[in-house]
Amino acid sequence: MKVKKLALTIGGLMATASISTAVYSAGDTVPVKAMADALHLVMDSDRTIYTRKIVNRLVKKDKVIKASEHFEDEKALVLPAQMFRFGAELVQKRMEKLPDVNFSYSLQSLWPVNKQNAPKTKAEKEGLKFVAENKGKNYYTEETLGGKKYFTAVYADTGVAPVCVSCHNKHKDSPKKDFKIGDVMGGVVIRIPIGG
Amino acid sequence: MHGLVRQSVTLLLMQISISSISLADDNTKFIRFSDPSLMQGRVVWMQNCKACHAYGTAGAPIPQYPDEWRHRLTKTRIVLYQHAIEGFYGPEDTIMPARGGNPALSDGQVRQAVDYMLALASYYMKKMNTGLTK
């Protein structure tokens, strides 16, 4: 696939660029795939740190608080997946005031507990199927929605702790109840508008 | 109609081809040692441990990356067995779930899987040290 260039300045990517093999100059454009990969790297790292340093440490190791889907009622920590979703919602809201920034991301699944997190577009469905069947690989494509063209990337979301798996397997609304640790349970969909 | 059949056959051949590549890849990366106990350990490992340890999921050390094993291989085997059987919190707040998250595994099966992973990690460590890999 021909790599498309995304007209974005690179200020926010300097830290990533300085430790990877890609080197950019001020005023350069960043390939859209690299942009999506960078966004996902930040999202995934933040979520990993929340899981390890907050949830694993306080819930599992020190046992001082629990994490729950019903965190308000139970005065508990939000689940890592909920934190991720709240972040995505805040990004969308804050982006309304940033006309030069335009992308969206969401956590979806072919087996969602909440039906609103099921894939809707053909690219989302194919991407989620691909990452579930090809562990360790990402899915990239282009799609046209509402007359606009987008670069769409899908990254696997893996069940990394017993609680991820047991919660989905036991949840009354879960359409799949035989997940094992290490299984791909869904995917992060990143969508960036492109020209052409 | 012929087009549809041809397309289906092509897709089927592609799927068989992808499966073959995947199996060949597994056989190359996840070595079949001749020792019968390690062979048994490989079966347990492939079914229960590979999903995380082959990809580094949640910080799981990958046997093919010697740097991730150097300090682990200095621990006694008894300690490593205990971590795998009872579960373990790593220094970076990573979690190794007890029995890899499969409570149906016996202590003996977990030990066999640990033995296999240690043999695999040692193999790649030795390979790197002798300059066979970059």
What does the pLDDT look like over A140-163, one tens digit per residue? 999 999 999 999 999 999 988 777
Are A182 and B52 in contact (CB < 8 Å)?
yes
Structure tokens at A17: 């660029």
Percent of chain A with pLDDT over 90: 72
- Sorting pLDDT into bands at 50, 70 and 90, what band is A25? confident
Q: Are A57 and A176 in contact (CB under 8 A)?
A: no
pLDDT value of residue A10? 38
Residue A112's closest CA among A101, A102, A122, A120?
A120
Place of tokens 């695999």: B120
pLDDT of B23 over the 80 cut: no
**By the 8 A CB rule, do B84 and B99 touch?**
yes
Beta-carbon count within 10 A of A23 CB: 8
Distances B20 to A15, A46, A63, B52, B55 between C-alpha atoms, Å: 40, 36, 46, 22, 20
φ, ψ for residue A78, nearest 5 deg: -75, 150
Higher model confidence: residue A8 or residue B61? B61
Which of these, B108, B51, B50, lies nearest to A165 by C-alpha position?
A: B51
What distance in Å separates the CA atoms of residue B97 and residue B58, rounded to the nearest whole number? 11
**Which residues of B fall within a CB distance of 8 Å from A57?**
93
Contact flag A181-B52 (C-beta cutoff 8 Å):
yes
Residue B17 or residue B130, greater confidence = B130
pLDDT in tens, A102-145: 999 999 999 999 999 999 999 999 999 999 999 999 999 999 99
Query: Coil, strand or helix: which one is A11?
Result: helix
Structure tokens at A183: 């299984």
How many Cβ atoms sit within 10 Å of the Cβ of residue A56?
Answer: 24
Check residue A117 and give its pLDDT: 94
Give the whole-angstrom CA distance, residue B12 versus residue B24: 18
Judging by DSSP bridges, how do beta strands A148-158 and A139-145 pair with one another?
Answer: antiparallel
Instruction: Return the residue of B nearest to A59 by Cα.
Output: B93
Residues of chain A with Cβ-Cβ distance to B92 below 8 Å are 52
What is the SS3 string spanning chain B? Answer: CHHHHHHHHHHHHHHHHHHHHHHHHHHHHCCCCCCHHHHHHHHHHHHHCHHHHCCCHHHCCCCCCHHHCCCHHHCCHHHHHHHHHHCEECCCCCEECHHHHCCCCCHHHHHHHHHHHHHHHHHHHHHHHCCCCC
The pTM of this model reads: 0.79
Q: In terms of CA atoms, which chain A residue is nearest residue B96?
A: A161
Q: What is the pLDDT of residue B24?
A: 65
Chain B residues close to A158, C-beta within 8 Å: 55, 57-58
Tell me the average pLDDT across A49-60.
90
Q: Mean pLDDT, to the nearest integer, of A18-31?
A: 78
CB-CB: which of A52, A180, A183 is closest to B93? Answer: A52
Cβ(A96)–Cβ(A124) under 8 Å? no
Phi first, then psi: what are they for A175, rounded to 5°?
-80, -5
- Token pair for residue A94? 């804050």
Interface test with A, best of B17, B93, B110 (most A CBs within 10 A): B93
Which of B30, B50, B62, B95 to mutate to probe the A interface, most A CBs <10 Å? B95
Nearest residue of chain A to residue B60 (CA atoms): A160
